[in-house]
DNA sequence: GTTATTGCAAATGATTTGCACAAGG
DNA sequence: CCTTGTGCAAATCATTTGCAATAAC
């Protein structure tokens, strides 16, 4: 896991940030970072804590929340709005700094996408309103066309199966 | 206040919704609805409760939260993502069903805007990904150009004054 | 050594909920 | 009447925080 090039890259960036702020590198933080960036999946603090426990990491919930805050501050992790009650984090902004999210109403699947045209258009609109663009996020809710036309959507089936697995705590 | 045409319109729609669901009309709900739609400002549950109290409405916090849920379910009120820890509600979707939000990083001011081009472009992108568009929201964070060029921004000054007023509870 | 970090448990704070009473229809 | 709505106070539950012990550097 530690030899994963993405994780190595993130750890380097984080440690650079940490040094600049006079903070310290710790194994707990490194473990959490490795877990976050070993997948490209979105996650909640709770889901991440599950992975922490399954990987026999010693990190506590408190450290996990503190590390999430640090990563956000360093710009390595973004909070995204998937509309749930828990905050959702997206680890993919290091690779794709300006991607957006489409959320399937039918199955809940989240599709990431980038589009230069939208990017440029938003930029123009922002300037016309007298502002200097800093960050933009587009969130699209949509229905699965496959489901509608063929009556079946593999993602929906998986989502239903997954929902049976959900048992909090 | 009750003679405000917008409020009358909303109340009509809500009562239609209420009847369809076999629910009942109550003065508390009417009061809360009137307060929400008498301004076009975004608000949190807490801010709304302040207004409820100042207007000598008898509605309790519980009823307020229950009414917010009802209005959302009826599609008359939308939750928007302004990035705070409390949920923010936007009462302007009845008048402008597809508007978006620009949030000024400098002063926190929120500007609503609509743009057909973006609307159409997002629609195309969504279809190309195999989905049927349902809802889209764009959230832009930007810096105030007036502040940058003239060194002053009236909104920023107001925001700083307002922040001094914040005393929870 | 000095100061940041950790884990724990307790605190916080927005939102939700159970329940007994009130009140629409 | 019968059922839904309300207010209250208590419960939830994700997240934050104080503190004493621990570990970077």
Closest CA to A47 of A35, A56, A57, A58: A35
Mean local confidence (pLDDT), B112-126: 95
Confidence (pLDDT) at A166: 36
Q: Cα(B164)–Cα(B156) distance, rounded to whole angstroms?
A: 13
pLDDT band at A169 (very low <50, low <70, confident <90, very high): very low
Mean local confidence (pLDDT), B109-132: 94
A105-147 per-position pLDDT tens digit: 888 889 999 999 999 999 999 999 989 999 999 999 999 887 7
pLDDT band at A148 (very low <50, low <70, confident <90, very high): confident
pLDDT band at A3 (very low <50, low <70, confident <90, very high): confident
Q: Per the CB < 8 Å rule, is A121 touching B125?
A: no
Confidence (pLDDT) at B116: 95
pLDDT band at B164 (very low <50, low <70, confident <90, very high): very low
Residues in chain B with CB shorter than 8 Å from the CB of A113 are: 125, 129
All structural domains of chain A: 5-89 (1.10.10.10), 96-144+153-161 (3.30.1490.190)
Token pair recorded at residue A79: 């909070």
pLDDT, chain B, mean: 88
Contact B108, B71 (CB under 8 A): no
pLDDT band at B83 (very low <50, low <70, confident <90, very high): confident
Q: Cα(A33)–Cα(A2) distance, rounded to whole angstroms?
A: 10
Cβ of residue B63 near strand D, that is under 7 Å? yes
Q: Cα(A88)–Cα(A90) distance, rounded to whole angstroms?
A: 7
Is residue A161 pLDDT above 60, yes or no? no
Residues in chain A with CB shorter than 8 Å from the CB of B125 are: 113, 115, 118, 140
Contact A110, A148 (CB under 8 A): no
A93 CA to D24 C1' distance (Å): 30
Is residue B167 pLDDT above 70, yes or no? no
The residue among B131, B148, B153 with the most chain A CBs within 10 A of its CB, best to mutate, is B131
Q: Residue B38, Cβ neighbours under 10 Å: how many?
A: 16
A64-96 per-position pLDDT tens digit: 999 999 999 999 999 999 888 899 999 999 999
Q: Cα(B66)–Cα(A9) distance, rounded to whole angstroms?
A: 47
Strands A131-144 and B43-44: unpaired
Confidence (pLDDT) at A147: 76
A25-48 per-position pLDDT tens digit: 999 999 999 999 999 999 999 999
Which of B115, B122, B145 faces A131 most closely, judged by CB atoms? B145
Distance of CA A106 to the CA centre of its chain: 21
Mean local confidence (pLDDT), B34-54: 96
Q: Residue A138, Cβ neighbours under 10 Å: how many?
A: 24
Mean local confidence (pLDDT), B66-75: 97
Confidence (pLDDT) at A157: 60
Confidence (pLDDT) at A167: 34
Token pair recorded at residue B30: 């009417």
Q: Per the CB < 8 Å rule, is B134 touching A142?
A: yes
CA atoms within 13 A on the CB side of A91: 20
pLDDT band at B169 (very low <50, low <70, confident <90, very high): very low
Confidence (pLDDT) at B156: 60
Cβ of residue A96 near strand D, that is under 7 Å? no
Closest CA to A64 of A83, A78, A44: A44
Distance from CA of B130 to the nearest CA of A (A): 6
Q: Cα(A71)–Cα(A91) distance, rounded to whole angstroms?
A: 10
Contact B131, B124 (CB under 8 A): no
Closest CA to B36 of B82, B74, B85: B74
Q: Per the CB < 8 Å rule, is B122 touching A126?
A: no
pTM, entire model: 0.88
């Amino acid at each position: 896991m530690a030899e994963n090039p993405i994780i190595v890259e993130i750890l380097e960036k984080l440690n650079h940030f940490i040094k600049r702020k006079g903070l310290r590198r710790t194994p707990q933080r490194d473990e959490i970072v490795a877990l976050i960036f070993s997948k490209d999946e979105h996650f909640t603090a709770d889901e991440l804590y599950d992975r922490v426990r399954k990987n026999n990491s010693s990190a506590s919930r408190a450290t996990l929340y503190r590390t999430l805050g640090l990563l956000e501050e360093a710009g390595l992790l973004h909070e995204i709005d998937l509309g749930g009650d828990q905050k959702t984090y997206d680890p993919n902004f290091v690779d794709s700094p300006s991607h957006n999210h489409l959320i399937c109403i039918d199955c809940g699947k989240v599709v990431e996408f980038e589009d230069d045209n939208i990017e440029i258009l938003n930029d123009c609109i922002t300037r016309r309103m007298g502002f200097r663009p800093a960050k933009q996020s587009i969130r699209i809710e949509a229905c699965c066309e496959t489901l509608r036309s063929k009556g079946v959507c593999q993602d929906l089936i998986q989502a239903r199966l997954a929902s049976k697995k959900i048992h909090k705590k």
